[in-house]
Amino acid sequence: MARHLITSALPYINGIKHLGNMVGSMLPADVYARYLRQRGHEVLYICATDEHGTPAELAAKERGLPVDAFCAQAHDAQKAVYDGFALAFDHFGRSSSPQNAEITQHFARKLNENGFIEERAIRQVYSPADGRFLPDRYVEGTCPHCGYDKARGDQCENCTRVLDPTDLIEPRSAISGSTELEIRETKHLFLLQSKLQHEVERWIDEVAEEWPHLASSIARKWLTEGLNDRAITRDLDWGVPVPADTWPELAAEGKVFYVWFDAPIEYIGSTKEWADAAPDGESRDWKSWWYEPAGASDVRYTEFMAKDNVPFHSVMFPATEMGVREPWKKVDYLKAFNWLTYYGGKFSTSQKRGVFTDQALDILPADYWRYFLMANAPESDDSSFTWEHFTATVNKDLADTLGNFVNRVLSFSRKRFGDDVPAGGDPGEAETRLGEEIATLLAEYEEHMEALQFRKAAAALRALWSAGNSYLEEKAPWLEIKTDKDAAALTLRTAMNLIHLYAVVSEPFIPSSAAAMRAAFDLPGDDATWVTAEQAKALTTLPSGTPFTVPPVLFAKITDEDLESYKERFGGRPEQQPQQEQPEKSA
């Protein structure tokens, strides 16, 4: 049985992420990791905050904090939100860790030894007022394409055009505002990706056939356009330092590695952080997950990310790993997502439009969001969040189909039979049909989860819940009890076994609600992690006499008043929304 290494795109340190960031990487990775753990696999789910780069320095400056202090605070704030969403990381690290610096510098030295790094002189913007070279985002000005006067030196936020700092009209320093800028020569390290093009192409041909079309097509598009040599250092105060033992001159100038070079390496660094954080008496071998001679040959590595991150992880990071000429684990399956939009437009902090993850948890429990986002995951196309759709999904699927089933079965049984699972007679034709249907639907659910088809998996899970309601309507225990008390008891016992089954198999999507359903039954030794086909057909896991309680309402309906208040608070008029723009990137 393969071990499963799972990573999701590293959320950038600057700011709390919105729902699109959540559904594009971390949440589906968590759902998959939870499912694999339940099926008995050894799983390691790794993530971290991506902390280097210009935006972190600028954000720290705006807040009047040292950049390391800003990143520490922001990391803790993000981690609190992810804990609130019940993301079960094995480790949530930081790209500013000593472990990442050590491994990043190791990679750079090896790439240099193998002839894949070259020192080149380039012309770059220099600010005499600041006494430093200005990386792309440290230069602001007017976009030459649309006239937006706050465009950055890497991209115009208004028209999304990719820019070079020298393209800007009336450029100025983002640090001091000085317009007295010069173009000077400076040296940087370049990763010679062009030398690795054919190796990456051969590797993509081998592994990408089973990837989603979105991921494989993006990778092949970049390869068709050709891999260009890429600068991997920057003039910043915050980052992994260029090692002085290899490049003393650049190290003396304070050069650091570019965030897109060290960020993917942080997957390995975070795994080493996890190993180093092992409690006393526990030994963790981080290399066995990443280094093939150390045991990683039996690891299946799955990455989760939005489509804008695919080039870096499908082409650039594998090229880096290849150039090191050491047997580091490369991705086996890359699950890419399109974008979740807000009424067809962009989530925007500055314009106070859209739902961000901390705000989401302020108004409703995590399971509402987890289920909706996965049931509408942007797998084949972009999908749009609207409050109307969210409300309808929560009310129909969670409140009516699942929550109401649990409540009315347990409440009615307690009212008529007491606080133990009733006995009743032997299963009949209706129970046999139900068992066959549940086993079939469970097999479909498993098939979709194994294939990482989350919308289809959510639909199969919903069908499992619906089957219980159909059975209850068919048997109508509220009528049976008037003429045949044993028949009503059988129906309720069968329905309670369905609740227990739902608690087990729904856990990847709605872990808190699943735990509440399972905790309703005082079943000794209830440590089952999954349900077999035979158990699904029999529906006898809960024997008669098992004590139970009626849990609080699992899912409260969203009212019309709630809906209007959410739209008022977060925006939601389609006519107010701009055209879709590229969302914030994460590594």
Over residues 291-302, the mean pLDDT reads: 94
- The answer to whether residues 200 and 227 touch, using CB atoms and an 8 Å cutoff, is yes
Place of tokens 């196309």: 381
- Range list for CATH 3.40.50.620 in the chain: 3-114+199-208+260-384
How much of the chain, in percent, has pLDDT values that exceed 90? 86
- The answer to whether residues 546 and 414 touch, using CB atoms and an 8 Å cutoff, is no
Q: According to the annotation, is 143 in a ligand binding site?
A: yes
pLDDT recorded at residue 352: 66
Q: How far apart are CA 188 and CA 486, in angstroms?
A: 81
Over residues 336-357, the mean pLDDT reads: 84
CATH fold, domain 3-114+199-208+260-384, is Rossmann fold (3.40.50)
- The answer to whether residues 63 and 142 touch, using CB atoms and an 8 Å cutoff, is no
DSSP secondary structure string for all residues of 38-61? HTT--EEEEEEEB--SHHHHHHHH
DSSP state of 551: P
Residue 14 pLDDT greater than 80, yes or no: yes
Q: According to the annotation, is 349 in a ligand binding site?
A: yes
In the numeric block, which tokens belong to residue 229? Answer: 């040599």
**pLDDT for 348-406, tens place per residue?**
755 667 899 999 999 999 999 999 999 999 999 999 999 999 999 999 999 999 999 99
pLDDT recorded at residue 579: 40
What's the mean pLDDT when you consider all of the chain?
A: 94
Q: How far apart are CA 577 and CA 389, in angstroms?
A: 17
Amino acid at 388: E
Kind plus residue range of the DSSP H or E element containing 256: strand 256-257
Coil/strand/helix, residue 337: strand
In the numeric block, which tokens belong to residue 214? Answer: 């979105």
Q: How far apart are CA 396 and CA 402, in angstroms?
A: 9
pTM tops 0.85, yes or no: yes
pLDDT recorded at residue 573: 53
Coil/strand/helix, residue 342: strand
Place of tokens 């770059």: 124
pLDDT recorded at residue 52: 96
Coil/strand/helix, residue 34: helix
Band of residue 166 on the pLDDT scale cut at 50, 70, 90: confident
Residue 585 pLDDT greater than 60, yes or no: no
In the numeric block, which tokens belong to residue 504? Answer: 């087990």
Chain mean position to CA 514: 21
Q: How far apart are CA 122 and CA 137, in angstroms?
A: 17
Q: According to the annotation, is 47 in a ligand binding site?
A: no
pLDDT recorded at residue 511: 98
- The answer to whether residues 509 and 35 touch, using CB atoms and an 8 Å cutoff, is no
Residue 586 pLDDT greater than 50, yes or no: no
- Range list for CATH 1.10.730.10 in the chain: 387-538
Band of residue 16 on the pLDDT scale cut at 50, 70, 90: very high
pLDDT recorded at residue 349: 59
How much of the chain, in percent, has pLDDT values that exceed 70? 96
**pLDDT for 541-564, tens place per residue?**
999 999 999 999 999 999 999 999
**pLDDT for 503-533, tens place per residue?**
999 999 999 999 999 999 999 999 999 999 9
- The answer to whether residues 2 and 298 touch, using CB atoms and an 8 Å cutoff, is yes
Q: How far apart are CA 259 and CA 235, in angstroms?
A: 12
* Short-list 238, 215, 250, 194, CA closest to 95: 238
Superfamily of chain region 387-538: Isoleucyl-tRNA Synthetase; Domain 1 (1.10.730.10)
DSSP state of 309: G
pLDDT recorded at residue 154: 84
* Short-list 202, 216, 196, CA closest to 311: 216
User: Please, where are the H alpha helices in 177-299?
Assistant: 197-207, 213-225, 248-252, 259-276, 287-290
Amino acid at 242: V
- The answer to whether residues 301 and 329 touch, using CB atoms and an 8 Å cutoff, is yes
Instruction: Give me Rg for the CA atoms of the chain.
Output: 27
Coil/strand/helix, residue 498: helix
CA distances from 325 to 248, 354, 368 (A): 24, 45, 46
In the numeric block, which tokens belong to residue 58? Answer: 């600028």
pLDDT recorded at residue 132: 86
Taking the CA of residue 489 as centre, how many other CA atoms within 13 Å lie in the half-sphere pointing to its CB?
17
**pLDDT for 87-106, tens place per residue?**
999 999 999 999 999 999 99
Band of residue 346 on the pLDDT scale cut at 50, 70, 90: confident
Residue 411 pLDDT greater than 90, yes or no: yes
Residue 587 pLDDT greater than 70, yes or no: no
Q: According to the annotation, is 71 in a ligand binding site?
A: no
User: Distance between terminal CA atoms of the chain?
Assistant: 30
Coil/strand/helix, residue 140: strand
Over residues 462-472, the mean pLDDT reads: 98
Q: How far apart are CA 398 and CA 76, in angstroms?
A: 31
Return all residues near 457 (Cβ < 8 A) that are at least 6 apart: 374, 445, 448, 449
* Short-list 3, 52, 530, CA closest to 257: 52
Return all residues near 18 (Cβ < 8 A) that are at least 6 apart: 347, 354, 355, 356, 357, 583
